[in-house]
Amino acid sequence: MNFDPRFSGRKFASVGTRPIRPDGVDKVTGRARYGADFNMAGQLVGRVLRSPHAHAKILKIDTSKAEKLAGVKAVITAADLPDLTDGDAAMYDVLDNCMARSKALYDGHAVAAVAAVDARTARQALKLIEVDYELLPHVTDVDEAMKHTAPLINDTIFTEGLEEKPVKPSNVTKRSQFGHGDVHQGFGHADFIVERSFKTEQTHQGYIEPHACVANVSSDGTADLWVCTQGHFVYRQHCAQLLGLEASKLRVTSSEIGGGFGGKTHVWAEPVALALSRKAGRPVKLVMTRDEVFRASGPTSATSIDVKIGARKDGTITAAEATLRYSSGPYAGTWAEIGAMTAFACYKLDNVKTVGYEVLVNRPKTAAYRAPSAPMAAFAVESAVDELAKELGMDPVEFRIKNAAQEGTRSSYGPVYGPIGIGPTLEAAKTHPHMKAPLGKNQGRGMACGFWFNFGGQTCVDLNIGMDGSVSLAVGTVDVGGSRASLSLVAAEELGIDYAQLKAVVADTSSLGYNDMTDGSRGTFSSSMATISAARNAIKILRDRAAQMWDIPVDDVIWENGHAIAKGEKYGNLAALSLKEIAAASGKTGGPIAGHSELVADGAGVSFATHICDIEVDPETGAARVIRYTVIQDAGKAVHPTYVEGQYQGGAAQGIGWALNEEYIYGKDGRLQNAGFLDYRIPVCSDLPMIDTQILEIPNPNHPYGVRGVGETSIVPPLAAIANAMSNAAGVRMTHIPMSPPRVLAAIEAEREGRA
Amino acid sequence: MAGVAVSTTINGDHVEYLCQPDETLLDVLRDRLGLTGAKEGCGTGDCGACSIILDDRLVCSCLVLGAEAEGRQVETVEGMAHGEKLHTLQQKFLEHAALQCGICTPGFLIAAKDLLAKNPDPSEEEIRFGLAGNLCRCTGYDKIVRAVQDAANVMKGA
Amino acid sequence: MVEVTLWGALGQLAGGQSKVEVEAKDIRELFRKLAEQYPGIEPWIEKGIAVAIDGTIYRDTWSKELPQGAEIFLLPRLAGG
């Protein structure tokens, strides 16, 4: 398709307004259907048996008693999900994660599953499955797992990326390195050097909706899957590959999704539900419990990061170095690599080096979590940058402005930047009233910057014009937070019609071409590009139909404000034809009118944010609360500003939870101790203040409207912003996230003792 | 196991059902009565997504047995709107974009309705503590609090 | 002829070079020629390599032209949330 994605600088009528979302009424009346809200006639209840052990060989699974229980219709183990991955190592890991094969690799790893007539029978059946385990030594801590003495999780893994090929297997699956210049020389030119080590604990995306699906496999090789997912086309590919189905015969419908944040980007229970359905010959509904969500889905990496930054007296950073160790669960990942790429991306550095180590541990398989890997790296780097500013006696904002990356700067991950938005967010922070507001006792202010790569990807949109002139927009990117409203605005803008004339839906996999999933902040960026393209294709047809109605050459017809207009003096007496009029006549001018678009949206452009936060610390308990918070971020162009603000606020809140409370706590036995919302405490309403937002609009040159992704970056700065505020409020530099009350209190007491 | 026969009132309608003695009211609403507005986010009373009002009291329906609804008044999100006309809270949630994914929204609406019934003019802090039993992972609560404030103002004037 | 910068792991597969010169008009031709010259890189291309052209990252637009004198930088393909 000849689609020109370049920014055109047009004036907007619809884009930038704040209408009510098209799926809104269903969501406030309880009518919207999420993963668990759908049922098929004759469906069974699926349940999964999970390993209680962190690391164990599976010697034998005896399902015979469970199979004999009245009401049980199918019992499956790994044998029912044979390896069809044909050497695709990443998919093999997904398969093994869905159903353990020879070893259980973490507490919560699926080992068998049942489908029964009701939940009680299914639960009883799980108790009748006998699994013989041979317990193996386990390791859950990222630093411990790197030691030579650590138990090996997978003895076929030899570290990739080392200069010399290793002779022994290791829990370190990969080493990666980024940077340029000579850090050794750079540190030689520094007057001040800050060098610190940091740890961050593992957190969960914490979506309120547990994974849920209904699967129905027919004996003719066709199948249906209803599921909450960030990418139903991706789920279709995965499930088809793992089950040996033909992709086009598996129709996947994405339900409304009750939060994902990266945690619903690859399959967990869906292949299991399909395998159960295939064996039972009936539909199977499988819904995870919250305990299962924590133990077996999601989480992000736990990390251990060393940072060293040096600067001259004048505030110029001369060198920066970081070593980043990220846990990836029991399967290889690339999480440290992303951390190593993003760590210093905000800064202009002549000498920079980052090294990442991917580390296997007996914890659930790490999944993406909103700007995956960036928040931990930013926590370490932005904490050290703040310390360095203090040593230099410089204002932390001024210090960052002095060293901020700009157009033409070589990024720490390699390429030279085009026009970027870190500088404007810092300048906005500098002049923001929040920076000058007075602080009370035990209160402190901190700020930090954040960076994230945004993505585009494969995208497909259908725009159909009804004979009454109403427009339906079918998109393939799952709407995780209001994108149907944004995309309707974009279609209205392009067609020149009213927002209310449109209805956007997320189409199932049989109704639309392939779409990558909604990740990498790509939903609105990519699908708006495809929507613009589809609308322009529809306009071509509308012009052609108007030309037919007028019996004039199509080249003489232009499209303006929702109308075909005959151009030129000679047509002076032809009244403009509205979209409605052209649609009404469509049956006689060539049939239905539609615009389609299939494209790869690329050029999303990198994203930056600066956050400011005030906290108050209780020196007696170590409890901290955020009392004021400001997010400043570039949106390129905010299509629906209210939902952009929502993304900023939501990301900040997740970051605040990560900074202060949230962590996976493992016992010595390698079992997760806090697999529930009571003990894994995400922020509640009374924990937070209002979260102020400032949207900057620096157009993205690679999008017709200048749009950038906005979903992820806002989770990157909060960890450091709060740690920096903590340093100013309580006089302690916290290097271990979360800064839970016991950790803060211990630091305050150590500080007091140190002074005494 | 023998079922328990229950006679109750849900959103003003007389309803009768059979349920198992260990079956939660949430499961009854969702699986037996097709009222899927209340959501199960945790099943342990920690997330509030299954909030309902039971005889003027805000409860997590995952912590109530179906059998306990006998002779009582149950109110769920499905009962908030009157025909086409949305409840003020529902309208304000839409106007303020107080939902992103929307899974927590039914619980928040019910909790907010209960809050405003007991305290028609709450301060921001009272709203925040009043809604502290409901988890939202998308919004950071900012727009939810604003929607409830706005709704309270409109409802006071009505 | 464009000069292409490789990230660490990829450089190792290209005989330890961090920069290679390739005659290529677009990303597709670049990948084809890289795979011809350095067969070890081919599986990485299969898995996905992102190409930064003057700082803008392209992941899937293999038809994207490589302008003369542009800075071409290969990067690992990343996951998002």
pLDDT in tens, A276-329: 999 999 999 999 999 999 999 989 999 999 999 999 999 999 999 999 999 999
Q: A320 is written with which tokens?
A: 């920066």
Which of B59, B78, B97 finishes a domain? Answer: B78
Chain B within 8 Å of A34 (Cβ-Cβ)?
Answer: yes
Instruction: Give the Cα separation of A697 and A636 in Å (integer).
Output: 4
> Which of B100, B115, B146 to probe the A interface (max A CBs under 10 A)?
B100
Cβ contact A261–C81 (<8 Å): yes
Query: Domain for residue A371, yes or no?
Result: no
Q: What is the per-residue pLDDT across A366-395, written as a single tens digit (0 to 9) for each?
A: 999 999 999 999 999 999 999 999 999 999
CATH of the domain at A668: 3.30.365.10
Is A518 a domain residue? yes
* Lookup result for tokens 């999480």: A335
If asked whether residues A511 and A615 sit together in one domain, one would say no
Specify the pLDDT at position C15.
Answer: 84
pLDDT of the residue at C68: 87
pLDDT, mean of residues A526-536: 97
Q: Are B19 and B47 within one domain?
A: yes
Shortest Cα distance from B61 to chain A (angstroms)?
Answer: 15
A579 shares a domain with A442:
no
What is the model's pLDDT at position C44? 87
B66 plus B110 within the same structural domain: no
User: CB-CB: which of C9, C61, C71 is closest to A602?
Assistant: C61
Q: Residues near A577 by Cβ (< 8 Å), separated by ≥ 6?
A: A546, A549, A550, A563, A564
Q: Which of A548, A571, A601 is the last residue of a domain?
A: A601
B103 and B66 in a single domain? The answer is no
Under 8 Å between Cβ of A465 and A583: yes
Among A601, A628, A660, where does a domain finish? Answer: A601
- Indicate if A665 and A691 belong to the same structural domain: yes
- Compare CB distances from A676 to B46, B97, B131 and report the shortest one's residue: B46
Shared-domain flag, residues B93 and B153:
yes
Query: What pLDDT was estimated at residue C80?
Result: 74
Structural domain that includes position B109: 88-157
Question: How far off is chain B from A293, nearest CA to CA, in Å?
Answer: 9
Using CA coordinates, name the residue in chain C closest to A88.
C47
Nearest by CB to B128, from A257, A481, A686: name it.
Answer: A686
User: Measured between CB atoms, does A350 come within 8 Å of chain B?
Assistant: no
Give the count of alpha carbons within 13 A of A34, CB side only: 30
Overall domain count for chain B:
2
Among candidate residues B45, B113, B115, the one with its CA nearest the CA of residue B78 = B113
Please report the pLDDT score of residue C43 as a whole number: 87
Partner A contacted by C1 (CB < 8 A): no
In a domain, residue A140? The reply is no
Does A443 reside within a domain?
yes
pLDDT at residue A37, as a whole number: 98
The predicted structure's pLDDT at residue A346 = 97
A56-62 and A212-217 as β-strands: parallel, antiparallel, unpaired? unpaired
The span from the CA of A340 to the CA of B32, in Å, is 52
Whether A363 maps to a domain, the answer reads no
- Nearest Cα neighbor of B52 from B41, B66, B65, B38 is B38
Look at residue A752 and tell me whether its pLDDT is greater than 80: yes
Q: Hunting for tokens 């398709």 — which residue is that?
A: A1
Domain of C57 in residue numbering reads as 2-76
Q: What is the mean pLDDT of residues C46-51?
A: 88
Would you say residue C61 has pLDDT above 90? no
Say what the pLDDT of residue A754 is: 86
Residue A183 falls within a domain, yes or no?
no
Compare C59 and A326 and report the one with higher pLDDT. Answer: A326
Residues A670 and A744 in one domain: yes
Of B49, B78, B107, the one marking the end of a domain is B78
Tally of domains in chain C: 1
Among A28, A649, A678, select the one facing B93 at the smallest CB separation: A28
Is B83 contained in some domain?
A: no
Mean pLDDT of chain A: 96
Residues A5-34: tens digit of each pLDDT: 999 999 999 999 999 999 999 999 999 999
Instruction: Choose the final residue of a domain: B29, B55, B78.
Output: B78
Is A1 a residue whose pLDDT tops 70? no
Give the tens place of pLDDT for each residue, A698-722.
999 999 999 999 999 999 999 999 9
Dihedral sign computed on CA atoms, order B92, B95, B99, B102: positive
> Which residues from chain C sit within 8 angstroms of residue A337, using beta carbons?
76
Mark whether B110 and B56 lie in a shared domain. no
Residues of chain A positioned with their CB less than 8 A from the CB of C43: none
- Provide the CATH number for the domain around residue B48: 3.10.20.30
| Max CA distance (Å), chain C | 37
Same domain for A597 and A611? no
Q: pLDDT tens digit string along A663-677? A: 999 999 999 999 999
- Tell me: do B121 and B60 sit in the same domain: no
Kindly list the residues from chain A whose CB atom is less than 8 angstroms away from the CB atom of residue B102.
23, 27-28, 32, 256, 258
Determine which of A406, A455, A599 to mutate to test the interface with C (most C C-beta atoms within 10 Å). Answer: A455
pLDDT at C14: 85
Tell me the residue range of the domain where A637 lies: 434-448+605-756
Residue A32 pLDDT = 98
User: Cβ of A334 and C59 within 8 Å?
Assistant: no
Band the pLDDT of A233: cuts 50, 70, 90. Answer: very high
Q: Does residue A484 sit in the same domain as residue A558?
A: yes
Interchain CB distance below 8 Å, B137 and A480 = no
User: Do B and C touch, counting CB pairs below 8 Å (3 needed)?
Assistant: no
* A538 is a domain residue: yes
Condensed to tens digits (0 to 9), the pLDDT of residues A238-279 reads 999 999 999 999 999 999 999 999 999 989 999 999 999 999
Q: Are residues A493 and A636 in the same domain?
A: no
**What percent of chain A is predicted at pLDDT more than 70?**
100
Tell me if chain A has a CB within 8 Å of the CB of C32.
no
Say which residue, A632 or A419, is predicted with more confidence. Answer: A632
**Cβ atoms of residues B50 and B40 within 8 Å:** yes
| Within-domain flag for C64 | yes
| Domains held by chain A: number | 2
Q: Tell whether A696 and A549 lie within a shared domain.
A: no
| Reported ipTM | 0.98
* CA nearest to A508, candidates A225, A219, A218: A225
Considering the domain architecture, whether residues A495 and A573 belong to the same structural domain is answered as yes
Question: Subunits that touch chain A (at least 3 Cβ pairs < 8 angstroms)?
Answer: B, C
**Contact across the interface for A30 and B77, Cβ inside 8 Å:** yes
The answer as to whether A506 is a domain residue is yes
User: What's the rounded Cα separation, in Å, for the pair A448 and A454?
Assistant: 19
Instruction: Let me know if residue C18 belongs to a domain.
Output: yes
pLDDT confidence of A440, banded at 50, 70, 90?
Answer: very high
Question: What is the reported pTM?
Answer: 0.97
- B interface mutation test: which of A287, A680, A684 has the most B CBs within 10 A? A684
Q: Are A352 and A180 in contact, with CB atoms under 8 Å apart?
A: yes
Give mean pLDDT, residues A726-737: 97
Instruction: Tell me the chain B residues in contact with residue A288 when contact means C-beta distances shorter than 8 Å.
Output: none
Note whether residue C81 is domain-resident. no
pLDDT in tens, A110-161: 999 999 999 999 999 999 999 999 999 999 999 999 999 999 999 999 999 8
For residues A474 and A462, membership in a common domain is answered with yes
Residue C8 has pLDDT above 90, yes or no: no
Contacts of A645 in chain B (CB under 8 A): 142-143
Segment A629-651 shows an average pLDDT of 97
A610 shares its domain with A719: yes
Q: Do the Cβ atoms of A507 and A474 come closer than 8 Å?
A: yes
Contacts with C73 from chain A: Cβ below 8 Å: 414-415
Query: The domain spanning residue C8 has which CATH number?
Result: 3.10.20.30
Q: Has residue B121 been placed in a domain?
A: yes
Q: Is A24 on the interface with B (CB under 8 A)?
A: yes
